[in-house]
Amino acid sequence: MKVSYRWLKELVDFELSPRELAEKLTMVGLAVDRVEEVDGDVLLELDVTANRPDCLSHLGVAREIAVLCGTSVRYPETDQEEDEEETARVVSVEIRDPDLCPRYVARVIRGVRVGPSPRWVVERLERLGQRSINNVADITNLVLLELGHPLHAFDLEKLIGRRIVVRRARAGELLVTLDGVKRTLQEDMLVIADAVRPVALAGIMGGEETGVSETTRDVLLESAYFHPLSIRRTARALAMSTEASYRFERGADVEAPRCAADRAARLIVEVAGGRVLRGAIDVYPNPRPRAPVRLRRQRLRRVLGMDVPWDEAVRRLRTLGFHIERTNGEEVWAIPPSFRVDIDGEDDLVEEVARHIGYDAIPTTLPRWNGYGELLPGEERRRALRAILSALGFSEAITFSFVPESWDALFRSEEMRVCRLRNPIDETRAQLRTSLLPGLLESLMHNLHHGVRSVRLYEIGICFFAREEGERPIERERLGLVATGLLNERAWQDHHRPFGFYEMKGTLEALLEKLRVRHVAFQTSPQEYLHPGQSARLLVEDEPIGDFGQLHPRIATLFKFKQPVFVAELDLEGLLQKGGEAIRYRPLPRFPTVVRDFSLLVPREVTYAEIERGIAELGISEIVEVRLFDVYTGPNVPADRRSLSISVRLRAEDRTLTEEEIAAIQGRLLAHLRERFRIEPRL
């Protein structure tokens, strides 16, 4: 909200430059975002917090300045000459729903000449960003800016029966509001009606037909108080927000309507002529005096951590407009002014005192504490995981949790149920992800579009799975990886080697090894988003933890990838529960290791894992490791076979192996492979 420095000066005495004023207001909680000079005046742009609707006017800001500067506010003139004719004889007001409208004040001005406003009115309005309409409407707007209380002016002659009825709308009732929009009303909306029909949307906007126009002679001025929740609901339901609704929603001053009506009537006569009828109609069936709020000296000390001189505290409350009902050295009972709708408890008074002695005055201390702090369970392993992935060349991504439904569907099985947003910003991204892969692939696409062709990304994040109606969805932390392009783009030796299936497998193996996860196995993966010939499922301790492989070329085409893309997705929560045992050192071997290399002609259908398992079946304890070092197909190898070269490392724990022992092991090994798999040594 903008306020005029010059206007404030009319309402309160202070000796502060605009900059100083901005600084002071900011430090009592009225943050000034901007100070701008406009033809001889200075406008301050205030960020008024939702709890302080009383500051949404010049008077409201002036009240805070008066407290700051120890001066007092000059209230605008409201007294005026009244006509012989009595308001109550001309018009009647009935509140049918006092729960939504506790108070309604009406004044009548007869014989106005509606026309353009005088210059001073136009200037004030325009400086603060409002358009001048006509002199009567302008005064209602001016009083809103001045006192903060919204008003509405009706053309009295157009109110059928010269009646005002405040009631809930009937379902389907229609009203064309001042903005020319025809609105269909619902039963819970509060309207101002005349004898037969709604003429205004209470507290939000008047009706077009009954508004003040060139031909208006008699004006009925409405100054009421409406219930904040009712106004907010109606405004939201109709997608409307006006200066009036903004204030009523936050809470207007229930004691302000009479004064605001008087002020406006006085100004209308000043700019548009006419005569104010005698007396106001003021329907206020249940005035509820506010209860005093207690502040204990001990509470003030306890919350702030300092001893504010008690007299000072009480004086601050008094200058803020609180009525001090009673006080002693230890407690004060204060009735908040009617405009302070935010005060309802002791700590609100603590804040009032703190605000005005200044938060700066509160000493800076550190709490005493004899506890200890710790990271989240599993956080150390998560940090290790990030470090390992960095070392493996993967950079960490963070992608949006909402994804296009069609993308997500590619990566989940049909029985999974998804969570949808009821009110997404972007309708095409209305689903909460069940997989990290769509987001990562989108990031990959972004990189490729920007000419970055070798990309390795990972993300650690939550995926969401719906359950039965009324049940909280499941959230599961997952780890996703994507990779494409060259292994090392900046290398100038071997620079053409691409990232492939075995690089992805190796990444996962290295990751698991460094996280000290053991009992790792691989099987074929059933995931349909993977290339059927290059996909694998990762198992730890016989439990599936995730899948990886080449992204199915059909999906790659959907994302317009022209190069093979490799992906992996693991259930991180499941993974972090595995392994991670404390490190125990194994003694280094005391006797030498002998290495024997074999080139084997292996039938195509025999997998490498079968060979490793076959060797393990022999139960030869001297075989300490089998290591693959070459795979070859081509000339000199029959078409139904491939050549696998392995090196077998032999060692005994208690002696140096003899040539005879080595030859015997070699013989058993080859014989077993021949018998079991029809594997022949390649010569």
Residues 27-46 that bind other proteins (CB under 8 A): 27-29, 31
Q: State the DSSP H helix or E strand holding residue 435, giving kind and residue range, or none if neither.
A: none
Q: Give the residue, chosen from 13, 14, 26, 670, that forms a contact with other proteins under the rule CB under 8 A.
A: 26
What is the rounded CA–CA span in Å between residue 366 and residue 44? 36
Q: Give the residue, chosen from 79, 287, 288, 366, that forms a contact with other proteins under the rule CB under 8 A.
A: 366
Nearer to other proteins, 29 or 206 (CB): 29
Query: In angstroms, what is the minimal distance from the CB of 627 to other proteins?
Result: 22
Does 160 bind other proteins (CB under 8 A)? Our answer is no
Nearer to other proteins, 85 or 347 (CB): 347
Does 397 bind other proteins (CB under 8 A)? Our answer is yes
Does 395 bind other proteins (CB under 8 A)? Our answer is yes
Does 452 bind other proteins (CB under 8 A)? Our answer is yes
Q: Give the residue, chosen from 359, 502, 591, 629, that forms a contact with other proteins under the rule CB under 8 A.
A: 359
Q: Give the residue, chosen from 215, 286, 328, 364, that forms a contact with other proteins under the rule CB under 8 A.
A: 364
Q: Give the residue, chosen from 52, 107, 275, 537, that forms a contact with other proteins under the rule CB under 8 A.
A: 52
Site for other proteins in 476-505 (CB under 8 A): 487-493
Site for other proteins in 284-303 (CB under 8 A): 302-303
Question: Binding pattern to other proteins, positions 398-437, x when CB under 8 A?
Answer: xxxxx----------------xxxxxxx------x-----
Question: Binding pattern to other proteins, positions 574-603, x when CB under 8 A?
Answer: ------------------------------
Among 66-74, 99-107, 373-381, 668-676, which window interacts with other proteins (CB under 8 A)?
373-381
Instruction: Say which residue the tokens 């309207």 belong to.
Output: 191
Q: What angle do CA 452, 486, 643 make, to 5 degrees?
A: 160
Q: Give the residue, chosen from 345, 589, 638, 681, that forms a contact with other proteins under the rule CB under 8 A.
A: 345
What is the rounded CA–CA span in Å between residue 2 and residue 127? 9
What is the rounded CA–CA span in Å between residue 100 and residue 89? 26
Query: In angstroms, what is the minimal distance from the CB of 218 to other proteins?
Result: 38
Nearer to other proteins, 397 or 600 (CB): 397
Coil, strand or helix at 184: strand
Nearer to other proteins, 194 or 442 (CB): 442
Token digits of residue 174: 């229609």
Does 396 bind other proteins (CB under 8 A)? Our answer is yes
Question: 470: number of CA atoms within 13 Å, CB side?
Answer: 0
CA-based end-to-end distance of the chain: 90
Among 145-153, 267-275, 393-401, 530-538, which window interacts with other proteins (CB under 8 A)?
393-401
Torsion of CA 602, 604, 606, 611, to 10 degrees: 30
Does 372 bind other proteins (CB under 8 A)? Our answer is yes
Maximum Cα interatomic distance, the chain, rounded to a whole number of Å? 133
Between the CA of residue 335 and those of 248, 346, 437, 459, 531, what are the distances in Å? 22, 11, 60, 56, 74
Q: Give the residue, chosen from 178, 389, 504, 665, that forms a contact with other proteins under the rule CB under 8 A.
A: 389
Between the CA of residue 560 and those of 287, 452, 511, what are the distances in Å? 70, 15, 30
Torsion of CA 331, 335, 340, 346, to 10 degrees: 30
Does 376 bind other proteins (CB under 8 A)? Our answer is yes
Q: Give the residue, chosen from 286, 309, 369, 659, that forms a contact with other proteins under the rule CB under 8 A.
A: 369
Number of residues that bind other proteins (CB under 8 A): 93
Query: Please, are residues 249 and 231 in contact by the beta-carbon 8 Å criterion?
Result: yes
Q: Give the residue, chosen from 236, 497, 613, 655, that forms a contact with other proteins under the rule CB under 8 A.
A: 236
Token digits of residue 543: 């439990």
Site for other proteins in 193-232 (CB under 8 A): 228-229, 232
Between the CA of residue 449 and those of 136, 344, 455, 552, what are the distances in Å? 60, 57, 12, 20
Q: State the DSSP H helix or E strand holding residue 574, giving kind and residue range, or none if neither.
A: helix 572-576
Residues contacting 233, CB < 8 A, separation 6+:
188, 189
Among 170-178, 192-200, 343-351, 659-667, which window interacts with other proteins (CB under 8 A)?
343-351
Does 122 bind other proteins (CB under 8 A)? Our answer is no
| CA dihedral over 99, 103, 109, 114, signed as positive or negative | negative
Query: In angstroms, what is the minimal distance from the CB of 473 to other proteins?
Result: 6
Query: In angstroms, what is the minimal distance from the CB of 27 to other proteins?
Result: 5
Q: State the DSSP H helix or E strand holding residue 234, giving kind and residue range, or none if neither.
A: helix 228-237
Query: Please, are residues 144 and 243 in contact by the beta-carbon 8 Å criterion?
Result: yes
Nearer to other proteins, 132 or 447 (CB): 447
Q: What angle do CA 193, 199, 201 make, to 5 degrees?
A: 90
What is the rounded CA–CA span in Å between residue 120 and residue 590? 102
Nearer to other proteins, 96 or 383 (CB): 383
Coil, strand or helix at 565: strand
Does 468 bind other proteins (CB under 8 A)? Our answer is no
Nearer to other proteins, 120 or 359 (CB): 359
What is the rounded CA–CA span in Å between residue 288 and residue 343? 15
Does 99 bind other proteins (CB under 8 A)? Our answer is no
Does 309 bind other proteins (CB under 8 A)? Our answer is no
